[in-house]
Chains A and B, each alone.
Chain A
Amino acid sequence: MAKKVLIIEDDKFLRKVLVRKISAEGYQIVEATDGEKGLKSVEEEKPDLVLLDLVLPEMNGFEVLAKIKKNPNHMISKIPVIVLSNLGEEKDIKKGLELGADDYLIKAYFTPGEILKKIENVLKK
Chain B
Amino acid sequence: MFFWKKENKKNNNKKEEWFYESLPGTNLMITDYFTDGLLIFDKDNKIILLNPKAEEFFEVKEENVLGESILELGRFSRFYPLVSLLGGGIKEVFRRELQIDEGFILEVTSVGILKDGARVAILVILHDISRDKLTQKMKTDFVTVAAHQLRTPTSAIKWSLQVLLEEDLGKLNKEQKKVLEKTYETNEKVIHLVNDLLNVAEIEEGKYLSKMVLFNIEELVQEIIKDLKEQITEKKISLILEKPEEQLPQIMLDVEKMKIAIKNILDNAIKYTLSKGKVLVSLKRESEKNIIIQIQDTGVGIPFEEQDKIFTKFFRGSNIKKIDTEGTGLGLYIAKNIIEAHKGSIWFESEEGRGTTFYITLPIKERFGEYLTGEFY
**Taking the nearest CB of chain B, how far is it from the CB of A53, in angstroms?**
10
Interface size on B, residues (CB 8 A): 21
Chain A contact-residue range equals 20 to 34
Q: In the complex, A87 Cα to B147 Cα: how many Å? A: 11
Q: In the complex, A46 Cα to B369 Cα: how many Å? A: 47
Tell whether A11 pairs with B152 under 8 Å between CB atoms, given A17-B159, A20-B168, A111-B162: yes
0 or 1 for each of A6-23: is its CB under 8 Å from B? (1 = yes): 000001011001101100
0 or 1 for each of A104-125: is its CB under 8 Å from B? (1 = yes): 0001110111000000000000
Residues of B within 8 A of A90 (CB): 210-211, 256
B152/A111 in contact, CB under 8 A: no
Q: Is B194 an interface residue (CB 8 A)?
A: yes
Tell whether A21 pairs with B256 under 8 Å between CB atoms, given A86-B148, A90-B211, A107-B152: no
Contact of B210 among A20, A21, A88, A91 (CB under 8 A): A91
Q: Is B156 an interface residue (CB 8 A)?
A: yes
Q: Is A24 an interface residue (CB 8 A)?
A: yes
- Determine the residue in chain B with the shortest Cβ distance to A17: B159
Contact of A86 among B155, B210, B211 (CB under 8 A): B155
0 or 1 for each of B192-210: is its CB under 8 Å from A? (1 = yes): 0011001000100000001
Contact of B166 among A87, A89, A109, A113 (CB under 8 A): A113
**Taking the nearest CB of chain A, how far is it from the CB of B195, in angstroms?**
8
Q: Is B163 an interface residue (CB 8 A)?
A: yes
Within 8 A of B (CB), among A79-104: 86-91
A11/B156 in contact, CB under 8 A: yes
B210/A108 in contact, CB under 8 A: no
Contact of B191 among A17, A20, A24, A108 (CB under 8 A): A108
Contact of A108 among B154, B162, B166 (CB under 8 A): B154
Residues of B within 8 A of A89 (CB): 198, 202
Residues of A within 8 A of B160 (CB): 13, 17
- Determine the residue in chain B with the shortest Cβ distance to A91: B210
A88/B198 in contact, CB under 8 A: yes
Q: Is B229 an interface residue (CB 8 A)?
A: no
Q: In the complex, A24 Cα to B195 Cα: how many Å? A: 31
Q: In the complex, A30 Cα to B210 Cα: how many Å? A: 37
B152/A86 in contact, CB under 8 A: yes
**Taking the nearest CB of chain B, how far is it from the CB of A90, in angstroms?**
5
Residues of B within 8 A of A20 (CB): 163, 168
Q: In the complex, A11 Cα to B155 Cα: how many Å? A: 11
Tell whether A111 pairs with B159 under 8 Å between CB atoms, given A20-B168, A86-B152: yes
Q: In the complex, A83 Cα to B195 Cα: how many Å? A: 19
Which 8 pairs, one residue from A and one from B, show the smallest C-beta to C-beta distance? A107-B155, A86-B151, A111-B162, A17-B159, A108-B191, A108-B155, A90-B210, A108-B151
List 6 contacting pairs A-B, 8 Å CB cutoff, sorted by A: A11-B152, A17-B156, A21-B163, A91-B210, A111-B158, A112-B162
